[in-house]
């Protein structure tokens, strides 16, 4: 036998053995990160973009001395991943872009109940009813439009975007959780059939498909599309101020005027984790809520923190009468999007 053969065999054997060992030992759930030499750490799955919450996590790390390992991805991706990982998940905290994914996971028993002082900090309409997750910030669906389009021409209801005059001019992000939550809201307000019809019509109207809200905003601002469906705060969070973009808030009472929340939850396996509780408590504390209002332009949800500048008040938005907890039927929404061919 030649040397390389032996080496090859050894390598193969090593791999096989390590895979087998891991397979046998792998049945147990991933342990929360142990406190090595006094170092405290936790794993966070974030469905929110790093540029929006990265600085806040940094602030928490400095303040608490806890190292946060953050996995960034889309909210839907993280929800699917948590579903797939089940009890094996290495995550202790989940941060979601919207309430539906939180509701869906809570229904599957993925979360540990939060302490009362955390859930109690936020008004009941902006958080879970059973204390499985807590709302962090409010955000409104808006139509961002390039200012070369006269304001009067921009509809306040997205239903009008299916007309021929909007052919090829609309940007949407079907993979984005906020878009999906809005579709879920439309299903609740208008019914599944009307929603399927609207999705079919908008798909046939040659929309421009983007991976994220930020990309839509950039395209609206540089004129690549005329209007785009996004959340209100992306303008405030952009790297360079979008000078050519204005926002149109949705017509009161319609799904276009949906006000959703971002939220956080502690995974069931991390129920006892002090680090996880510290992080969630931090997120509803005054400094964090002020960060959201001033840095990302979102609506803070605790009392005594002023809302973002130059934005209408949350209460005057005319949001449709939708219980945020009812947005949890994410699976049916993504199936609908798949069915009409937007996913």
Residue 137 in tokens: 């910030």
Nearest-angstrom CA–CA distance, 170 and 216: 9
Closer residue to other proteins, CB minimum distance, 189 or 220: 220
Residue 234 is assigned to a ligand binding site: yes
Pick the binder of other proteins from 55, 69, 160, 163 (CB under 8 A): 69
Closer residue to other proteins, CB minimum distance, 222 or 286: 222
Closer residue to other proteins, CB minimum distance, 238 or 271: 238
Pick the binder of other proteins from 39, 63, 167, 335 (CB under 8 A): 335
Closer residue to other proteins, CB minimum distance, 121 or 327: 327
Output the CA–CA distances (angstroms, integers) from residue 23 to 16, 90, 221, in the order listed: 10, 16, 51
> Quick check: helix, strand or coil at residue 255?
helix
Report 300-329 residues binding other proteins (CB under 8 A). Answer: none
Query: Which stretches of the chain are DSSP H helices?
Result: 3-25, 50-64, 75-85, 99-107, 116-119, 177-190, 192-204, 213-221, 234-237, 274-283, 286-291, 330-340
Q: What is the nearest approach in angstroms of other proteins to the Cβ of residue 48?
A: 12
Report 12-41 residues binding other proteins (CB under 8 A). Answer: 12-13, 15-16, 18-19, 22-23, 25-27, 30
The residues facing 36 across adjacent strands are: 39
Pick the binder of other proteins from 39, 63, 167, 222 (CB under 8 A): 222
Contact 179, 248 (CB under 8 A): no
Q: What is the nearest approach in angstroms of other proteins to the Cβ of residue 191?
A: 21
Q: What is the nearest approach in angstroms of other proteins to the Cβ of residue 42?
A: 11
Closer residue to other proteins, CB minimum distance, 311 or 336: 336
Residue 72 is assigned to a ligand binding site: no
Residue 343 CA, distance from chain mean position: 17
Contact 97, 137 (CB under 8 A): no
- Can residue 9 be called a binding residue for other proteins (CB under 8 A)? yes
Q: What is the DSSP string of 31-45?
A: PPPP-BTTBEEEEEE
Query: From residue 270 to residue 289, what is the string marking binding to other proteins with x (rule CB under 8 A)?
Result: --------------------
Closer residue to other proteins, CB minimum distance, 82 or 143: 82
Report 162-181 residues binding other proteins (CB under 8 A). Answer: 174-176, 180
How many chain residues interact with other proteins (CB under 8 A)? 75
Nearest-angstrom CA–CA distance, 157 and 172: 15
- Residue 24 CB coordination number (10 Å): 8
- Can residue 4 be called a binding residue for other proteins (CB under 8 A)? yes
Burial, 185: exposed, middle or buried (Cβ in 10 Å; 0-12, 13-18, 19+)? buried
Contact 213, 231 (CB under 8 A): yes
Contact 212, 178 (CB under 8 A): no
Q: What is the nearest approach in angstroms of other proteins to the Cβ of residue 52?
A: 9
Pairing relationship of beta strands 299-300 and 245-249 according to DSSP bridges: unpaired
Closer residue to other proteins, CB minimum distance, 47 or 131: 47
SS3 of 273-310: CHHHHHHHHHHCCHHHHHHHHHHHCCEECCCCCCCCCC
Q: What is the nearest approach in angstroms of other proteins to the Cβ of residue 206?
A: 12
Report 199-218 residues binding other proteins (CB under 8 A). Answer: 208-212, 214-215, 217-218
Pick the binder of other proteins from 172, 219, 235, 265 (CB under 8 A): 219
Closer residue to other proteins, CB minimum distance, 65 or 253: 65
Report 73-112 residues binding other proteins (CB under 8 A). Answer: 73-74, 76-77, 79-81, 83-85, 88, 90-91, 101, 104
> Quick check: helix, strand or coil at residue 261?
strand
Pick the binder of other proteins from 71, 115, 120, 201 (CB under 8 A): 71
Binding site for Fe cation, by residue number, is 233-234
């Amino acid at each position: 036998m030649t040397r390389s053969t032996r080496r090859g065999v050894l390598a193969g054997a090593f791999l096989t053995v390590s895979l087998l060992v891991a397979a046998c030992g792998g049945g147990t759930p991933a342990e929360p990160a142990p406190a090595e030499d006094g170092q405290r750490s936790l794993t966070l799955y974030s469905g929110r973009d790093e540029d929006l919450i990265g600085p806040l996590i940094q602030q928490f790390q400095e303040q608490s001395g806890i190292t946060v390992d953050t996995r960034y991805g889309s909210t839907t991706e993280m929800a699917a991943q948590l579903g797939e990982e089940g009890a094996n998940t290495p995550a202790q905290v989940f941060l979601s872009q919207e309430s539906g994914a939180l509701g869906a996971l809570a229904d599957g028993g993925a979360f540990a109940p939060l302490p009362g002082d955390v859930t109690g900090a936020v008004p009941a309409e902006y958080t879970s009813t059973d204390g499985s997750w807590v709302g962090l910030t409010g955000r409104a669906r808006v139509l961002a439009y390039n200012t070369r389009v006269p304001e009067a021409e921009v509809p306040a209801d997205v239903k009008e975007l299916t007309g021929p005059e909007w052919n090829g001019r609309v940007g949407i992000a079907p993979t984005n959780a906020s878009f999906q939550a809005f579709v879920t809201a439309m299903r609740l307000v208008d019914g599944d059939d009307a929603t399927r019809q609207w999705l079919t019509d908008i798909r046939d109207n040659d929309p421009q498909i983007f991976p994220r809200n930020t990309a839509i905003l950039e395209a609206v601002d540089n004129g690549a599309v005329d209007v785009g469906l996004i959340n209100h705060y992306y303008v405030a969070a952009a790297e360079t101020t979008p000078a050519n973009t204005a926002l149109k808030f949705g017509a009161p009472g319609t799904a276009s005027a949906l006000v959703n929340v971002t939220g956080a939850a502690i995974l069931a396996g991390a129920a006892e984790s002090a680090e996880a509780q510290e992080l969630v408590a931090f997120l509803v504390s005054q400094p964090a809520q002020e960060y959201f209002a001033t840095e990302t332009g979102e609506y803070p949800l605790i009392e005594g923190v002023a809302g973002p500048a130059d934005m209408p008040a949350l209460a005057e938005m005319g949001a449709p009468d939708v219980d945020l907890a009812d947005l949890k039927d994410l699976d049916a929404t993504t199936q609908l999007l798949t069915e009409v061919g937007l996913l």
